[in-house]
Structure 1
C-alpha cells in the first residue's frame, strides 16, 4: 500500500523535534539572532521604551534612543560627566516601573569626584521628545572614591516593593574592603527611590556600618535579576577562574577575597587559597576557567518553548556566547552554550513582549534579538 506523504512528513517532524529536545547541542543550534541595530560604541545596557523603541547606553558616556527599525537617535542631552576610562563609563540603565506615567529612569555610571571616582546611581526623566534627560539627580554615590579604572559593578534592579538594588565592585586594588562594612566596595546596596536607606536594611543602626549595604563579600557584579521568588540573583567576575552566581540575601557574606574558586592572575593562591569557611556563602554555580559574565535575565515567556521557560541567561564576555542555565529547586543543574562566536555579550534582557535581546560590546556593537 502506498504511504501517505503527509503521514511521512508528520513522522519526520516529530522525530526532528524529539532529536532537538533530547540533544542539547542540536537544541542550541536552533537559536539565531536578528540584528536590530549596529554601530553602537561599546554599548553596555538596553531598556525597552514604548512603541518598540529601545534606550541604550554606550560606555564612553552616551545614551541614545534606538528606533524600532534600528535607526540610531542622537545622543541624549543631560547625561552627567563620566569617567570613561578602563572599565568605567556610562553603564546600566533601567526604566522605573511607573515609566508609562512618570517617564522616569535610573542609570549608573563611574562618577568623578574628590579622591578619584566611584559608582553612582542617578534618577532622571526622559523628555517627551526623546532628546534629553531632565531633572537629573544623583541619588547614591559609592564611598569612598578611589583612583581606579576597574570593578565598578553597576547593575540596577527594582524590587517588587519599589526599592532599588545596585551592585558595586571591589575597585580591584581595594579587594579587602569587600569584607568591611564601612565602605561600599564589593557590596550590594538597597535604597529607596529618593536614595535613602530603608529602615529594614540589615545593617541599619550598627555602629561603623553603612546603612545602604544589603550583602557583602562580592568582587565585581555585572549581572543582576529578580528570581521567580523575588530574591536578587547576581553574578560576579572571579579573578582567574571563580566567576560566581549567587542569591544575595540580606546581611549575607559571600566571602571574597577570603574564599574563592579562582586564583591570582598568572597563578598563585589568593589569601589562604581556600574555597569555603563557616559563615561564608557558597555560590550556586561557579566557572573555572572564567567566562567573564555580564548581563543576566530570567526567561518568563513561552517565546522559545516550554524547555526554555524559567531558564537563566548569562552573557560571556571572554568566550563570546550566551549561557542558558537550567534550574531545579533553586539550583543550576545544566548549562548550554548558545550563539557561540556572537561576540562579547555585555547585556541580556527580556522585553515586555517576551523576546530576549543581547547587546554585544565592541567599537561596532550590536543590539540583537534572539529567535528560534
Structure 2
C-alpha cells in the first residue's frame, strides 16, 4: 500500500526473496540479468561518486556507508542523529554539482524535535575519503516548517536542476492532509532553493515572504521520487492513499490537488473526489490503482538498454517490481513490469548505463542490471 503502509515488509516478498546472484521472479524472459554487488540494512538511497567505482548508501537507522567496488563497504562517520521509526530515518543523498572540486554532499533525514515531534531536514557536508571516511562540517540548511507528531510522509528527496543552480526538495505533508494546501507552511510542497538552502529568487510565492518564498508547487502528499528528464523538465512520483499513486510533471505555482482530489480513497474507505472532477488543478501524467508504492525512479539515458531510453523506470515497494513507463509529452503510459518478488527501494543509473537497484528492508541487496547475454523470449 501507499502512505504509511509503504514502510511495512510484505511477508510474500520475504518468502520470494532470493539469496542467489539473480533476483527472485526471474523466469528467463526479462531483458536483463542481475548481479548482487552488496548488502545493506534498510537502505534508502544511493549516489555514485565520479567514475562509478564507489557510492554512498544511506541506511534508514542512521548509518551512511561508502561502497567500493571489490572492496566492500565502510561506515562514513559524522552522519546526523535521526528520528528512526516508521518512515523516519536517514533519507536521500546527493552530490553537489561541483563535487569534483568541493567534495560536498547533501543528505536528508527525519530530525527529532520536542515533545515527540519530528520533521525532515536537509544538510550538507564535505566528504573526506580514505581508509576512515568522514563527513566534515555537516550543517543543516533547510527544515520542514513545522515539526509535527507522527512517523510518516517526510518525503525529503533531493534533485539539482540540470544547470546546477537550483536545489529542489520534496516535502511530504506528514500525514496531516490540510498543510498541503496551506501556503504558510512548506509541508506537502516541492521547494526550490539555492545550493545554500535559501529560497531561490523568482519562486512563484516569493511576494508572500517567509516560508512561502521557498515553494515551487503545492498540493503534494508523499513524494518519493523527484527527477529531471533529458529535456530539463521536473517530475515527481508520489504515493496516493488507498490507490492513486501518481507521476506528475511539476510546474511552478501549480496545485497538485492533495487532499482535495485523488484517484484513490482514504484507508477507511471514504471516497475522495477524482482528479478529473477538478480540471482547475494540475492533472497527473498517470495514476495507479491498485498502487505500485514507488520507492524512487529514474529517467534512463544510457546506451546499454536502448528500449528504455527516455523512459521512467520505477522501483516499486508493494508491487515488488521494476515498472517501465513511457513518457508521451506531458502524459505517461505504463509499458510493462518486471517482477522481483521483493520490495525495491532505490534505483540509480550507473555511468556505464547499467541500472542499479537497492532492495528494501534488512539485508537489502544492491543489484546491478545488465542486458542478458542470451536471447530472451520477448
TM-score w.r.t. length of structure 2: 0.87
Which range moves more in the overlay, 274-283 or 133-142?
A: 274-283
CA-to-aligned-CA distance 1:53-110 (integer Å, 9 cap, x gap):
111000000001011126121x211111100110000011011121111111111000
Residues in 1 aligned to 2:234 and 2:359: alpha-carbon distance in whole angstroms: 24
Mapped contact 1:178–1:219 kept (Cα < 8 A): yes
Residues in 1 aligned to 2:275 and 2:93: alpha-carbon distance in whole angstroms: 36
CA-to-aligned-CA distance 1:149-185 (integer Å, 9 cap, x gap):
000011100112321100011101x111101101111
Residues in 2 aligned to 1:247 and 1:303: alpha-carbon distance in whole angstroms: 26
Give the unaligned 5+ runs of structure 1.
Answer: 1-24
Residues 1:68 and 2:69 aligned together: yes
Residues in 2 aligned to 1:266 and 1:259: alpha-carbon distance in whole angstroms: 16
The 3 A distance-change label for structure 1 pair 251 and 363 is same
Structure 2 counterparts to residues 1-372 of structure 1, below 5 A: 29-38=30-39, 40-50=40-50, 52-69=53-70, 71-73=72-74, 75-114=75-114, 116-129=117-130, 131-161=133-163, 162-172=165-175, 174-206=176-208, 210-270=212-272, 272=273, 275-305=276-306, 307-338=307-338, 340-372=339-371
Instruction: Report how far residue 207 of structure 1 moved.
Output: 5.8
Higher relative contact order (CA 8 A, sep 6+): 2
Mapped contact 2:82–2:109 kept (Cα < 8 A): yes
Mapped contact 1:203–1:209 kept (Cα < 8 A): no
> What is the number of equivalent residue pairs in this alignment?
342
CA-to-aligned-CA distance 1:21-69 (integer Å, 9 cap, x gap):
xxxx99962222111102x110000100245011100000000101112
Mapped contact 2:173–2:179 kept (Cα < 8 A): yes
Match of 1:100, SS state, is: helix
Mapped contact 2:244–2:290 kept (Cα < 8 A): yes
Instruction: Report how far residue 279 of structure 1 moved.
Output: 2.0
The 3 A distance-change label for structure 1 pair 152 and 28 is farther
The 3 A distance-change label for structure 1 pair 171 and 286 is same
The 3 A distance-change label for structure 1 pair 214 and 367 is same
TM-score w.r.t. length of structure 1: 0.88
Residues in 2 aligned to 1:138 and 1:207: alpha-carbon distance in whole angstroms: 21
Mapped contact 2:249–2:330 kept (Cα < 8 A): no
Superposition RMSD in Å: 1.8
Residues in 2 aligned to 1:243 and 1:117: alpha-carbon distance in whole angstroms: 25
The 3 A distance-change label for structure 1 pair 142 and 335 is same
Residues in 2 aligned to 1:31 and 1:201: alpha-carbon distance in whole angstroms: 42
Give the unaligned 5+ runs of structure 2.
Answer: 1-25, 372-378
Residues in 2 aligned to 1:124 and 1:247: alpha-carbon distance in whole angstroms: 30
